């Protein structure tokens, strides 16, 4: 582990050695793992908990995402889960006593054809029926809400309307890591970094502990929150998961003045763009086509993303690209998460958040902590179990991605 790896403000939490055993071990110290640890202690009074992380806190997708928060999912099951999360975001900074720069600046999803408009207005109605804020804007109102967008009707894919969720927005992702880690630590949760899981200990069909680079640790219950590395963890525990791990790339520009007042996305033209509080334009590209654990992708994906963004924002043509990176995302066949029990007793799964996990951070942690504490799925995640693939009861949310992945 390089020395610089721990230049995060480690005074926000202890760096304890693992105890011989815990009531619950959460494998994976990303945002969902940290949130799970925090809510286990806060909501369920279970503080004898370890969150184990193979690298360091804030080393992976937790700080490699595009920080966008929204709950515009079509299906009732998904809408309930993501809206639960958005509601938690609305009070999270206060609960954690940490400025998360959570900013409900609005998420605007552009539509470019009549077919697009039909699916967009259907989404507006579906969300309203579920009590979630959603509006439909015509081209003129789009221009009024976000004047920078090129709404000229003579471009290849003109803007003919847009979906708007005003309660959607962005937050500062590394602040969320720090805040959750500090809060979990204060409640007594052990955050164990540089601790890679290399195997599971079992008694019959029941898991009893993990084998790690820091030795054996016993556990009453274990939650796997390994994102892109979940298939490797599940294979060690002896069962398969229907997950494919691929690179998902994002990019930021150099820092410019605040010019963009909302989140803009378009699946038709493939744009996913917002401006961080510091000033960088943050863009999310499409998923690379192939499976990978290499945390990098192909450059033609970036080139395409920039070309698409410039069609809607010709003004950005002279801004320099500063940095690109890739995270490994775990995507299920129906693009919905998999949460609940596994074929191994006392071992629970929370994965498949794939291309859209940041927004779900508090909701995912909340329901998974409840699942681990009670040994059964939280009512909101019953439809999201691993068993849905055998029943053929899939939760198709491919259309919910901000861009086509």
**Residue 292 lies near other proteins (rule: CB under 8 A):** yes
Across-strand partners of 317? Answer: none
CB nearer to other proteins: give 71 or 305.
305
Helices of type H across 254-346: 299-312
Nearest distance, CB of residue 30 and other proteins, angstroms:
18
**Identified binder of other proteins from the candidate list 4, 7, 300, 318, rule CB under 8 A:** 300
CB nearer to other proteins: give 240 or 379.
240
Nearest distance, CB of residue 236 and other proteins, angstroms:
11
From 135-143, 163-171, 241-249, 377-385, span contacting other proteins (CB under 8 A): 241-249
DSSP-derived secondary structure letter, 160: -
From 69-77, 78-86, 204-212, 294-302, span contacting other proteins (CB under 8 A): 294-302
CB nearer to other proteins: give 95 or 294.
294
CB nearer to other proteins: give 233 or 369.
233
CB nearer to other proteins: give 281 or 339.
339
290, with CB counted inside 10 A (0-12, 13-18, 19+), is exposed
CA distance 343 to 386: 9
**Residue 333 lies near other proteins (rule: CB under 8 A):** yes
CB nearer to other proteins: give 245 or 361.
245
**Residue 299 lies near other proteins (rule: CB under 8 A):** yes
CA count, 13 A, side-chain hemisphere, 131 = 7
Distances (CA, A) of 206 to 22, 201, 219, 344, 367: 16, 9, 11, 6, 22
**Identified binder of other proteins from the candidate list 293, 315, 323, 379, rule CB under 8 A:** 293
**Residue 321 lies near other proteins (rule: CB under 8 A):** no
**Identified binder of other proteins from the candidate list 14, 198, 290, 307, rule CB under 8 A:** 290
Angle value at C-alpha 403, between 387 and 127, nearest 5 degrees = 65
Which own/partner pairs from 277-280 qualify as long-range (CB within 8 Å, at least 24 positions apart)? 277/101, 277/103, 277/172, 279/255, 280/252, 280/253, 280/254, 280/255, 280/256, 280/322
Helices of type H across 225-343: 230-237, 299-312
CA count, 13 A, side-chain hemisphere, 6 = 12
**Identified binder of other proteins from the candidate list 238, 242, 279, 399, rule CB under 8 A:** 242
Nearest distance, CB of residue 332 and other proteins, angstroms:
8
Nearest distance, CB of residue 196 and other proteins, angstroms:
13
Nearest distance, CB of residue 198 and other proteins, angstroms:
13
Footprint of other proteins on residues 95-124 (CB under 8 A)?
A: none
Nearest distance, CB of residue 336 and other proteins, angstroms:
12
What is the tally of helices (H) and strands (E) in the chain? 9, 18
Helices of type H across 152-240: 173-186, 230-237
CB nearer to other proteins: give 214 or 296.
296
Nearest distance, CB of residue 35 and other proteins, angstroms:
25
In terms of DSSP bridges, do strands 280-287 and 271-275 run parallel, antiparallel, or are they unpaired?
antiparallel
Q: Which residues bind other proteins (CB under 8 A)?
A: 231-232, 240-245, 289-294, 296, 298-300, 332-333, 389-392
């Amino acid at each position: 582990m390089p020395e610089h790896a721990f230049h995060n403000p480690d005074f926000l939490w202890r760096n304890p050695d693992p105890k011989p055993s815990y009531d619950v071990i959460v494998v994976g110290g990303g945002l969902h793992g940290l949130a799970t640890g925090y809510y286990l202690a806060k909501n369920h009074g279970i503080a004898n908990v370890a969150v184990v992380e193979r690298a360091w806190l804030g080393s992976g997708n937790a700080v490699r995402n595009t920080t966008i928060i929204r709950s515009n999912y079509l299906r009732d099951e998904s809408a309930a889960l993501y809206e639960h999360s958005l509601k938690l975001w609305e009070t999270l900074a206060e609960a954690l006593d940490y400025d998360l720069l959570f900013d409900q600046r609005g998420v605007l999803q552009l539509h470019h054809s009549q077919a697009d408009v039909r699916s967009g207005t259907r989404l507006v109605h579906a969300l309203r029926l579920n009590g979630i804020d959603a509006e439909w804007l015509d081209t003129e109102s789009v221009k009024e809400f976000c004047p920078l967008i090129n709404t000229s009707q003579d471009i290849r894919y003109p803007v003919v309307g847009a979906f708007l969720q005003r309660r959607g927005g962005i937050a500062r992702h590394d602040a969320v890591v720090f805040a959750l880690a500090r809060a979990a630590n204060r409640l007594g949760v052990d955050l164990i970094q540089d601790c890679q899981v290399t195997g599971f200990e079992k008694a019959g069909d029941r898991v009893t502990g993990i084998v790690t680079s820091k030795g054996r640790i016993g556990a009453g219950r274990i939650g796997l929150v390994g994102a892109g590395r979940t298939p490797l963890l599940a294979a060690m525990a002896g069962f398969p998961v229907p997950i494919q791990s691929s690179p998902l790339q994002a990019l930021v520009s150099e820092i410019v003045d605040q010019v963009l007042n909302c989140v803009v996305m378009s699946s038709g033209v493939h744009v996913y763009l917002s401006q961080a509080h510091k000033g960088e334009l943050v863009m999310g590209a499409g998923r690379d086509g192939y499976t990978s654990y290499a945390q990098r992708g192909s450059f033609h994906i970036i080139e395409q993303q920039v070309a698409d963004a410039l069609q809607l924002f010709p003004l950005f043509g002279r801004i320099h690209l500063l940095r690109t990176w890739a995270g490994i995302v775990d995507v299920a066949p129906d693009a919905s998460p998999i949460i609940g029990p596994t074929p191994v007793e006392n071992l629970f799964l929370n994965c498949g958040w794939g291309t859209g996990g940041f927004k779900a951070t508090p909701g995912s942690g909340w329901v998974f902590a409840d699942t681990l504490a009670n040994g059964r799925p939280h009512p909101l995640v019953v439809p999201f179990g691993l068993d849905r693939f055998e029943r053929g009861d899939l939760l198709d949310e491919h259309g919910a991605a901000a861009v086509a992945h």
